[in-house]
Amino acid sequence: MDPATMAVTAITVLSPFLTKMGEKAAEEIGKGLPGAVGKLWNRIGRKFKGNPAAETAVKDAVANPKDEDNLAALRKEIKKALADDAAFAAEIEKLLEQAQNETQTIRGDHSIAAHIDIGGDVQGNIIVGNNNRAG
């Protein structure tokens, strides 16, 4: 996978989790992320240590992950790091594959069909449809 595609994929995988993490310090975010997503975040963070532009991009993305400019700046820094370091790119590619598999499972992107016979009184939330979530 080329650096530009990997950078876009990394942002796609990470951004839903950044939104949930709020204002936690960037270093602490990885602890709250599932398996490979946390490893991906931590590996990118280690690569960015000592690079002021990259560190700023991370801080801005964490502070306001819904701002497209912040995500674009982070994506640019990831892309540069991937293009400059083949070993880092290979490592990130593996982590992206693992993270995408995990997030598909977490988000419930797989279809599940079931036949359920219900008798008696039914209470609570019943959710039917596609990509619905109980609040």
* Token pair in block for residue 37: 């997503």
CB neighbourhood size of 41 (10 A): 26
pLDDT tens-digit profile of 17-69?
765 555 455 555 555 555 777 888 889 988 999 999 999 998 888 888 888 99
CA 30 to chain centre: 10
Whether pTM > 0.85 for this model: the answer is no
Residue 122 belongs to some domain of the structure: no
- Domain of residue 53: give its range: 3-107
Residue 128 belongs to some domain of the structure: no
Residue 63 belongs to some domain of the structure: yes
* Token pair in block for residue 105: 């499972």
Number of domains in the chain: 1
Residue 129 belongs to some domain of the structure: no
Q: In whole angstroms, what is the distance from residue 135 CA to residue 35 CA?
A: 24
Separation in Å, CA 124 to CA 17, 37, 55, 116: 28, 33, 46, 16
